[in-house]
Structure 1
Amino acid sequence: MARTLALALAGATAFAVAPAVAGPEPGRAAADMAVTYRVTAPYQQHANGVRAGYKPDQYCVFDRVGGTGALGYPHFNHAYDNSTDPAKPTALFYEDDGKGGKRLVGVEWLVQDRDQNLKTDDDRPSMFGVPFKGPNRGNFPGQPVHYALHLWLWKKNPKGPFSTYNPAVTCLPGTTRPQPRPAS
């Protein structure tokens, strides 16, 4: 565990000085990034993430629109909905590790849009000097209009560390949510 944490902090330092972490307070962004690495390092062991309250989705999520990349298996801890605390991401993303287990690849923060209006964004949050994406429609019935920030800190994303989908993450055949059949 100590080795994992040391590698995480080294990675955070290297990652935090990258151009993706910009904005008016780059020192704070780097410090916040180090916090996220430190706090999520134990979740590299899938069971630790589940014990911490992150509920696994049974399906692997991929980019149905663009067709490039995936999120992996989202694990949500709704106690952290609306968090902009680098130590409290709303979701963890895991991928199949090829040995029957799961490997942590990224995290996400979700913040509800105050007025639930897709045409306004005066309450857009930001972290690490990066504005959240949105406002977005809910992804499932009952989910409110929200903003989202993805961070690929445990698996490099060729599209950038804050891109929604990661082309380096794939879903194994038979692991994705079945598509609804068109009505006849």
Structure 2
Amino acid sequence: MSARPRPLLAVLALAAAGSLALGAAPAVAAAPAALPAATPATELPHPDLAETYEATKKYRSEQKAIADGFLRTDMCVEDESPQRLGGMGYHYVKPANVGSTDPARPAAVLYEDNHETGKRELVAVEWVVPNKGQPTPRIFDRPMDGPAVIPGVGDVFTLHAWIYKKNPRGVFAPYNPRVRCDCPEGVSPAPGGAPQR
């Protein structure tokens, strides 16, 4: 597995700094969003992921994630190594959930731009646990990835779960080759401006 790219380090550092400087994000009123059908639990590789899905499906609305304390970021993360493993998207981190291995309390929700609608769509969730010299934390009967040092956050273990966008590399892979930060060739940005980076 490749090391985390510097943009992810900056995103998590920004989220940590933002949580200290700003406290909880203000609540934002949002119109109800049309939600796709629920993912059947039989499609998930671990039964506890059904709990994750139920706890986070409301975050298909970016505004609901922000209202619940996930700090919005405008830095999209892609693997910049020669392997080009794919992207992670935008990390919205909830500082109160950092350290949790509870399936219903991921530390981050990840979004990508829908270049046709101009909105962000939920693609994955992520757990972040500080490394304090303990054995590698486990969740979903598997060890977390890491540890890796993230400036401003510290030495942490992480685990992604791609439960909102299929990942051909697997549900728990760090990167998804189907997630991109740039606008795909032949797709024009939605009215109102260029895709955010």
Shorter-chain TM-score tier: 0.7 to 0.9
Match of 2:55 in 1: 39
Q: Which amino acid aligns with 1:146?
A: V
Runs of 4+ in 1 over 2 A off after TM superposition: 3-6, 173-176
Q: Quote the RMSD (CA, aligned, Å).
A: 1.9
CA distance 1:5–1:103, shift in 2 (3 Å): closer
Spell out the pairing of 1:16-31 with structure 2 (5 A cutoff): 16=45, 21=46, 30=47
| Distance in 1 of aligned mates of 2:143 and 2:85 | 23
| TM superposition shift of 1:6 | 5.8
- Asked if residue 76 in structure 1 is aligned to residue 93 in structure 2, the reply is yes
Q: Which runs of 5+ in 1 are unaligned?
A: 22-29, 116-121, 177-184
Are residues 77 and 67 of structure 1, via their aligned partners in 2, closer, same or farther at CA, if it must alter by over 3 Å?
same
Would the aligned equivalents of 1:5 and 1:38 in 2 still touch at CA under 8 Å? no
Secondary structure of 1:170's counterpart equals: coil
CA distance in 1, matches of 2:98, 2:128: 6
Offset, 1:169:
0.4
Please tell me whether the aligned partners of residues 44 and 50 of structure 2 are also in contact (alpha carbons under 8 angstroms).
Answer: no
Q: Which amino acid aligns with 1:101?
A: K
Residues 5 and 41 in structure 1, CA contact (< 8 A), matched pair in contact too: no
Distance 1:67 1:143 in 2: 25
1:105-143 CA distances to partner (integer Å, 9 max, x unpaired)?
Answer: 00100001113xxxxxx52111111210111121xx322
**Within the alignment, does 1:148 sit opposite 2:158 as a pair?**
yes
| Percent of aligned pairs with the same amino acid | 36
CA drift at 1:5: 8.2
Amino acid at match of 2:94: N
- What residue number does 2:144 align with? 132
CA shift for structure 1 position 45: 1.1
> C-alpha distance in 1, partners of 2:75/2:146?
24
Conserved in 2, the CA contact under 8 Å of 1:149 and 1:162?
yes
**Aligned counterpart in structure 1 of residue 123 of structure 2, from 105, 117, 123:** 105
Alignment of 1:105-124 (within 5 A): 105-115=123-133, 122-124=134-136
Under a length normalisation based on structure 1, what TM-score does the superposition of the two structures give?
0.76
Aligned to 1:92: 109
Give the superposition deviation at 1:68: 2.6
Aligned AA (1:152): W
Structure 1: which amino acid aligns with 2:100? S
Are 1:57 and 2:77 counterparts? no
In 2, Cα distance between equivalents of 1:152 and 1:90: 14
5+ residue gaps, structure 2, are: 1-31, 184-194
Count of aligned pairs between the two proteins: 152
- Check conservation: 2:113, 2:121, Cα contact below 8 A: yes
Contact kept in structure 1, 2:125 and 2:161, CA below 8 Å: yes
Distance in 2 of aligned mates of 1:53 and 1:96: 20
- CA distance in structure 2 between the aligned counterparts of 1:15 and 1:72, rounded to whole angstroms: 21
